[in-house]
């Protein structure tokens, strides 16, 4: 085949694609209600794993802001005075951790305030509280919290004058466990709901093929080949998937907007200044494309089979 | 242009729709295909369109031997044939313009050219002023003419019509057949299946007569017009 003939063929092919594209859009627009219902189903199906993803991602980034919470508390012996406490604090600072010293008086004041026994101090002849140091990872700490905590625990326990090292990160372990579970759950949901999207689109395309059997027959009679007949359905599948994903993103944004203030209140109670994050542009685009791809898969699986069935019924040679 | 050589078509279940049918329609010829319903007219048309394959014998269309071609070649064969149906087979959710444009879109022709050719075809059947209308807004005769416009828009060398006058009154039928005659005069090979004997006689064209799957008569052009009745078995 000559170069020119090839070019002409390529151009014809391009135009056919374009006609199919417009035809698919036309069909979606002309069946507004049916399209909307399908999109709603797809949108909800995709919003569930997406929502979980956003929740897990947000919790993970809180996890990264662990400096406030990943603390190690050191209780000194009662014999330790302010000088040796300050000495230890200095040693700690030199090892790149942030440390806050709490004197017995401050400790008593905090206790009185938080327990409600405003005159707790009066009950004791002498302040029973020791000096306390609270360690938090420095801003430049890159170590995982677990490792950081156990390292400090070991170091502190060997130090003279230390009575007790209290490590309060059990709940962080629990959070990490929950996050792992959440991510696992997200994977399961993503697989299941992706499958659901494929099936929903496949079924929708099946109905489309059935309702347009007359048109398919006519197209076949006037010389359309299998590809040309199939093309608009494939485009439709892609649109269903992509618009479904778009709806899912919108639903998710609405949910984030709705949940923002209670969530921020909750996080504030944990002492975190934190803004709820959405997906971001790049991930949103990825979601749209994935949705389109899933729809395309569903359409592909469905259209071939049902066109063949239709062809057998009508004796049209597809 | 269309050649049948000893063609037999047997459907599953043993029904013989065509038996040893042989005839040739040369380029530029116009002929009627007649016979009672069930005589095999539709089967013959289906074989030409590659909607079915002959059980035995050869079918040649436009220089191609259909019996030796794979099913995937069917679209190419059909693009060379303009088909007109009794029930028009227009797409109801597309405008007249889009209906007529369909074969050209399938061929992947430039939209500007499509517009020109669709309007030329609609002009030829006298319906240019209805290009933006929907099929259901048109009368039966108009719909049939749209069907013809769609069949001729791709300028195929062959026109096949299956009972094109089936639902039309005699006057409209005569107009329609005159339109076929005009197209034939421009060099298109035309084969029309019809059982409207009165009209066929009036046209004075070649007539192929089918009965129970067999070709029982082949009346040359110019005879029926002079009063002889085509025999129908």
Domains of chain A in start order, with CATH, are 18-63+179-314 (no CATH), 71-168 (3.30.70.3040)
Look-up of token digits 């991930």: A283
Cα–Cα distances (Å) from A85 to A88, A94, A154, B232, in that order, read: 5, 14, 18, 122
Q: Is the pLDDT of residue A279 over 90?
A: no
Interface residues of chain B, partner chain A, Cβ below 8 Å: 46, 49-52, 71-72, 74-81, 83, 85, 89-91, 93, 102-103, 105-111, 150, 154
- Tell me if A127 sits within 8 A of A108, measured CB to CB: yes
Closest-CA residue of B relative to A19 is B105
Q: What is the ipTM of this complex?
A: 0.83
**pLDDT for res B113:** 93
Please answer yes or no on whether B78 and A214 come within 8 Å at the CB atom.
no
In what helix (H) or strand (E) does residue A60 lie, and over which residues does it extend? helix A32-64
**pLDDT, tens digit, for every residue of A285-294?**
999 999 999 9
**pLDDT for res A59:** 75
**pLDDT, tens digit, for every residue of A113-166?**
766 666 666 777 777 788 888 887 776 677 777 777 778 888 888 888 888 888
Beta bridge partners of B161: B84, B192
Q: What angle do CA A229, A317, A222 make, to 5 degrees?
A: 55
**pLDDT, tens digit, for every residue of A233-249?**
999 999 999 999 999 99
- Top residue of B53, B75, B110, B143 to mutate, by most chain A CBs within 10 Å, is B75
Q: Tell me how far apart the alpha carbons of residues A128 and A80 are, in angstroms, rounded to a whole number.
A: 13
In what helix (H) or strand (E) does residue A226 lie, and over which residues does it extend? helix A226-269
Q: Is the pLDDT of residue A215 over 60?
A: yes
User: pLDDT 10s digit of each residue in chain B, 233 long?
Assistant: 899 999 999 888 878 889 999 999 999 999 999 988 888 888 899 899 988 888 899 999 988 898 888 888 888 899 899 999 888 889 888 899 999 999 999 888 888 999 999 999 999 888 999 999 999 999 888 999 999 999 999 999 999 999 888 777 888 888 888 889 999 999 999 999 988 888 888 888 899 999 988 898 888 887 765 444 555 54
- Inform me whether the C-beta atom of residue A30 falls under 8 Å from chain B C-beta atoms: yes
Please answer yes or no on whether B106 and A224 come within 8 Å at the CB atom.
yes
Q: Tell me how far apart the alpha carbons of residues B120 and A150 are, in angstroms, rounded to a whole number.
A: 87
Please, which residues have CB within 8 angstroms of residue B168's CB and are 6 or more apart in sequence?
A: B140, B141, B144, B176
- Among A16, A215, A221, the residue with its CB nearest the CB of B83 is A221
| Structure confidence at residue A273 as a pLDDT band (50, 70, 90) | low
Please answer yes or no on whether A224 and B50 come within 8 Å at the CB atom.
no
Q: In what order do the strands lie in the sheet with B81-84?
A: B81-84, B158-162, B189-193, B30-34, B206-211, B214-219
- Tell me if A12 sits within 8 A of B109, measured CB to CB: yes
Please answer yes or no on whether B75 and A218 come within 8 Å at the CB atom.
no
Closest-CA residue of B relative to A315 is B51
- Chain B positions touching A226 (Cβ under 8 A) are 72, 75
**pLDDT for res A80:** 80
- Chain A positions touching B93 (Cβ under 8 A) are 30, 215
Q: Tell me how far apart the alpha carbons of residues A114 and B209 are, in angstroms, rounded to a whole number.
A: 108
**pLDDT for res A51:** 87
**pLDDT for res A248:** 94
**pLDDT for res A294:** 94
Residues listed for chain B: 233
Long-range own/partner contacts, residues A279-284 (CB < 8 A, 24 or more apart): A279/A50, A279/A53, A279/A54, A279/A249, A279/A252, A284/A249
Phi and psi (nearest 5°) for A2?
A: -70, 165
Q: What angle do CA B188, B149, B60 make, to 5 degrees?
A: 35
Of the candidates B215, B191, B232, which has an alpha carbon nearest to the alpha carbon of residue B22? B215
Q: Where are the alpha helices (DSSP H) in chain B?
A: 41-48, 74-79, 96-107, 111-124, 140-152, 170-185, 197-203
Closest-CA residue of B relative to A27 is B93
Of the candidates A278, A291, A192, A195, which has an alpha carbon nearest to the alpha carbon of residue A240? A291
Please answer yes or no on whether A223 and B111 come within 8 Å at the CB atom.
no
**pLDDT, tens digit, for every residue of B57-83?**
999 998 889 888 888 888 889 989 999
What DSSP assignment string belongs to A160-211?
TTEEEEEE--HHHHHHHHHHHHHHHHHHHHHHHHHHHHHHHHHHHHHHHHHH
């Amino acid at each position: 085949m000559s170069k020119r003939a090839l070019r002409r063929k390529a151009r014809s092919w391009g135009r056919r694609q374009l006609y199919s594209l417009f035809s698919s859009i036309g069909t979606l627009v002309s069946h507004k209600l049916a399209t909307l219902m399908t999109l709603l189903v797809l949108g909800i199906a995709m919003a569930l794993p997406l929502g979980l993803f956003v929740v897990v991602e947000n919790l993970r980034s809180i996890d990264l802001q662990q400096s406030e919470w990943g603390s190690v508390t050191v209780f000194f012996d009662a014999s330790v005075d302010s000088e040796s406490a300050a000495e230890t604090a200095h040693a700690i600072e030199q090892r790149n951790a942030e440390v806050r010293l709490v004197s017995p008086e401050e400790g008593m004041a905090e206790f009185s305030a938080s327990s409600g026994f405003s005159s707790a101090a009066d009950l004791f002849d002498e302040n029973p509280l020791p000096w306390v140091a609270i360690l938090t990872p420095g801003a430049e700490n890159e170590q995982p919290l677990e490792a950081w905590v156990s390292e400090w625990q070991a170091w502190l326990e060997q130090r003279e004058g230390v009575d007790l090292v209290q490590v309060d990160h059990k709940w962080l372990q629990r959070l990490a466990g929950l996050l792992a579970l959440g991510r696992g759950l997200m994977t399961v949901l993503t697989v299941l709901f992706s499958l659901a999207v494929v099936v929903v689109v496949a079924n929708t395309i099946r109905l489309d093929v059935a309702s347009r059997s007359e048109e398919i027959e006519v197209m076949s009679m006037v010389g359309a080949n299998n590809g040309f007949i199939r093309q608009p359905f494939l485009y439709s599948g892609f649109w269903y998937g992509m618009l479904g994903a778009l709806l899912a993103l919108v639903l998710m944004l609405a949910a984030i907007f709705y949940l923002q203030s209670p969530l921020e209140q909750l996080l504030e109670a944990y002492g975190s200044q934190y803004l709820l994050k959405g997906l971001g542009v790049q991930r949103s685009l990825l979601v749209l494309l994935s949705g389109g791809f899933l729809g395309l898969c569903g359409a592909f699986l469905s259209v071939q089979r049902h066109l063949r069935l239709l062809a057998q019924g009508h004796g049209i040679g597809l | 242009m269309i050649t049948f050589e000893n063609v037999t078509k047997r459907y599953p279940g043993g029904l013989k729709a065509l038996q040893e049918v042989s005839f040739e329609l040369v380029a530029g010829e116009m002929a009627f295909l007649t016979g009672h319903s069930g005589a095999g007219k539709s089967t013959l048309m289906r074989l030409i369109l590659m909607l079915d394959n002959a059980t035995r014998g050869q079918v040649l269309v436009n220089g191609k031997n259909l019996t030796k071609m794979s099913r995937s070649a069917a679209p190419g064969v059909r693009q060379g044939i303009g088909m007109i149906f009794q029930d028009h087979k227009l797409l109801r959710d597309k405008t007249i313009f889009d209906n007529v444009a369909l074969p050209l879109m399938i061929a992947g022709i430039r939209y500007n050219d499509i517009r020109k050719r669709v309007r030329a075809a609609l002009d030829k059947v006298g319906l240019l002023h209805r290009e933006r209308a929907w099929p259901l807004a048109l009368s039966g005769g108009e719909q049939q003419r749209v069907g013809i416009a769609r069949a001729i828009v791709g300028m195929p060398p062959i026109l096949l019509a299956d009972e094109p006058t089936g639902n039309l009154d005699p006057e409209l039928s005569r107009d329609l057949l005159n339109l076929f005659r005009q197209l034939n005069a421009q060099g298109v090979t035309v084969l029309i299946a019809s059982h409207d004997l009165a009209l066929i006689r009036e046209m004075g064209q070649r007539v192929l007569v089918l009965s129970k799957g067999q070709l029982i008569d082949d009346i040359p052009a110019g005879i029926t017009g002079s009063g002889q009745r085509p025999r129908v078995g």
